[in-house]
Structure 1
Amino acid sequence: MRDNFRTKIKQLLARRVGFRCSNPKCRKATSGPDSTGTMSVSIGVAAHIAAASDGGPRFDGELTPEERMSAVNGIWLCQTCAKLIDSDLTKYTREVLIDWKETAEHLAAADLQGITASKSTDSDTSITFRAEDWSMWKNRGNLPGDSVVIIDGWKRGDVRYSVRFRLRNNLAHEEVLHRFRMEFMDGPNLVLSDEYAFDGDDVILPPRKWVTIDVCCGLHDFNVFQRAKFVLCKAEVLGEGEILRWPVAEIDHASVNFHAD
């Protein structure tokens, strides 16, 4: 017996990625008008990350039927990519599909905020960007050596954030990025461009290799945290002046207690 998705789950998966294929090398629109002008055409598929039944691709026997039928176990794809992920299970693992899904949702959120993600993850992109392990928390200053900034309206501590960036140069020659910034956005409006999150050095991207950047910094302005809804990473290509922006995360304001001691 297959644990198929309910209609509302399929609709949710499609809406969360803006009705686009979640494969970062595809991102094809999966819905549009038909030729009559009165109907719509859909080429989208709600695919299972872990198979709907025993013996299927990436099946996980530890999942309950409800978990297999949930949105957490689903990914929205076009018909071609839905077939593709089941054709090579070594390449298209659960981890890969989860990464696709998270990236597609971040890109859809950026679109919703009126932000275009430059050189995100399209097939013709020269640089692949991933943001991993995003976290925000309140620094209470309880440990020896903690640096604490007193903020008006707070009892103690400041908001800190951390994230790991992974960048891959897909070209045959070296690329160099500089002037990295963390941009805290309120819709299309820039709230803060934070250069202090980075050490200021140029980042050299060897051809066809991954480079990791770990970022940990603090927000010392209460209004920035309160106003910002979304975070981007900005960089420039050295010598070309080309500006790149990638979506990093949505800000979960409930994750930090404003007034706790």
Structure 2
Amino acid sequence: MPRDNFNKPVVEELGRRVAFACSNPDCRNQTVGPKSGADGFVTTGEAAHITAAAPGGPRYDPTLTSSERSAFKNGIWLCRNCAALIDRDVEGYPVDKLVQWKQTAEARALLGINKPPTIDDAASLPERVNILSARDALSRVRTTMTAIARSLEQLDPRFRVTIAHDGSVPSFSIEPVDGPVNVSMNLRDNAKTRQSMQRFFEYGQRVTLDGKDITFHGTPLLDGLNGEARHVSISNPLNCHAVVKLSVASRKKNELEFLDQSSATLSSGSKGFSCDAQLFGGCLALSVTSDGQRLHIKATPTFERWMGRGIKVLPYFEQLRKLRDAARLGSQVDIVVEVEGQRLAAGRGKLPMTSFGYGLLDFVEEVRVILHQSPVDILMPKKLDITADDIDRVHQLAGLRHVSAGSTMTATVEPQTEHEVESLRKSIAVGRPTAMRLTQLLDVHAFGGLLSEKKIAVEISHVVMTARRKNFRVGLSVPVKFRATRESKVSYVLL
């Protein structure tokens, strides 16, 4: 019986639909290129049959007609090695697997259309690169992203596709257009995945999985992205507007201090709902879940907005500090979730200390205290290289502001002039409170070493000093014991 071979137009269409790359996702070799010389090309690919072209061949389907066997639908473009492989291992490469390969390869080729040149491409073709203004460059990126989104939607019009780009990799948001769409997915069986999906089904809580742990089936749109995504986020948002309000217990009895509110994405599941909100201008990620009886809260500070900002003028620092204090002291935190102006849920309780990382806040607060009266400010770097020595040194300096009446300390003074020597002698002789100024190297290497070579003067007012007068000499370091009074105050001056 003659073979039902593909004609030339079908062969060309199979190759072009995948940009002449092997459809095996583990291969993807380019199969077309130029011959050595001025003209001509060579191909190492071929149009392979998914079901055999003749009886006795691999995956032969007797129910197909001759025209169906030689149709585009029954073909897949492969390199010659992979074409031989699928025919020699029929059980390892069944029909449904090859169909999925084909769909994935076509979707991948579609993503490559109108793709902006990479840095390497631009470097290799300098004569074709034009210098664009920032506005033109952004416009071209948006145009390209829009074109890719529309092309992806053509794979399955039941979905709406939007694309965002953070400068390194694109992210795809895929949503049904008109109601639910039946799509199946296979998950890698591990404890983390099971726990994440349990939260999703019970509370609708958004989950983010590693791309290699999940595979979709049921639509060529998602089939084409299998294995291509680094991470996959799944959510089930409700079609309603929610607002989350956050308050903490104030110093006044039985009163609350309002801190902030934000719109939220509300999702539901079999046991209750969940919502995620960004408060304090994005400096706090707040996750709320409810089973109808209790609210469960997770608060996570995010400090990206602080990077590059002056440490003395950090946005929403005071609000974060108050929330930190509430977690540390076990004070009441009040959460209200509203939908369309109506209260959906509310709860009041203590914020778990483990859910709020306040170590950096402590350090930043103490540095702000030291810099408060100084005209100098430093910028928060992207890399927070804070050592244990930095923390101890800053904590000791900032801790002086809490000096209490009657407490005694010892410091070393080194008068630089005869006037300073005489002033110290008189203060000790009379025994009256006086001001004391201690100067030392700050030597803090955090924040890129910006404070490592700065000298700081600590001025303590209304202290009583004790020492032997004859020990004072210009340029001589002398230990002095001093006692704080009720009027003692501490200030810092960065020199």
TM-score normalised by length of structure 1? 0.52
Are the structure 2 counterparts of residues 212 and 105 from structure 1 closer, same or farther at C-alpha, using a change threshold of 3 Å? closer
**One-letter code of the match for 1:202?**
V
Structure 2 counterpart of 1:109: 110
Structure 1 counterpart of 2:206: 201
Structure 2 counterpart of 1:82: 83
Gaps of 5+ in 1: 117-132, 138-157, 179-197, 216-229, 235-241, 246-261
**One-letter code of the match for 1:136?**
R
**One-letter code of the match for 1:65?**
S
**One-letter code of the match for 1:201?**
R
Q: How does 1:192-231 map to 2 (within 5 A)?
A: 199-204=204-209
More strand by share: 1
Counterparts of 2:76 and 2:110 in 1: how far apart (Å)? 16
| Structure 2 counterpart SS, 1:35 | coil
Matched, 1:61 2:62: yes
1:41 positional shift = 1.0
**One-letter code of the match for 2:207?**
D
Are the structure 2 counterparts of residues 114 and 159 from structure 1 closer, same or farther at C-alpha, using a change threshold of 3 Å? farther
Counterparts of 2:81 and 2:182 in 1: how far apart (Å)? 33
Counterparts of 1:211 and 1:163 in 2: how far apart (Å)? 14
Q: How does 1:1-261 map to 2 (within 5 A)?
A: 1-114=2-115, 136=158, 159-160=178-179, 162=181, 164=183, 166=185, 199-204=204-209, 244=231
CA RMSD of aligned residues (A): 4.3
CA deviations over 1:80-105 (Å, ceiling 9, x no partner): 00001011111100011000000001
Please identify runs of 4+ aligned residues in structure 1 that moved more than 2 A. 113-116, 158-170, 172-176, 198-206, 208-215, 230-234, 242-245
Percent identical: 34
Number of aligned residues:
167
Instruction: Select the structure of larger CA radius of gyration.
Output: 2
1:165–1:212 CA contact under 8 A, matched in 2: yes
1:134–1:162 CA contact under 8 A, matched in 2: no
| Structure 2 counterpart SS, 1:89 | coil
**One-letter code of the match for 2:158?**
M
2:18–2:77 CA contact under 8 A, matched in 1: yes
2:188–2:214 CA contact under 8 A, matched in 1: yes
| Structure 2 counterpart SS, 1:90 | coil
Counterparts of 2:43 and 2:218 in 1: how far apart (Å)? 41
Counterparts of 1:199 and 1:212 in 2: how far apart (Å)? 19
Counterparts of 1:134 and 1:11 in 2: how far apart (Å)? 24
CA deviations over 1:46-85 (Å, ceiling 9, x no partner): 0000000000000000000000000000000000000010
1:233 positional shift = 10
Gaps of 5+ in 2: 118-154, 160-176, 197-202, 233-495
1:39 positional shift = 1.2
Are the structure 2 counterparts of residues 35 and 50 from structure 1 closer, same or farther at C-alpha, using a change threshold of 3 Å? same
Counterparts of 2:187 and 2:32 in 1: how far apart (Å)? 31
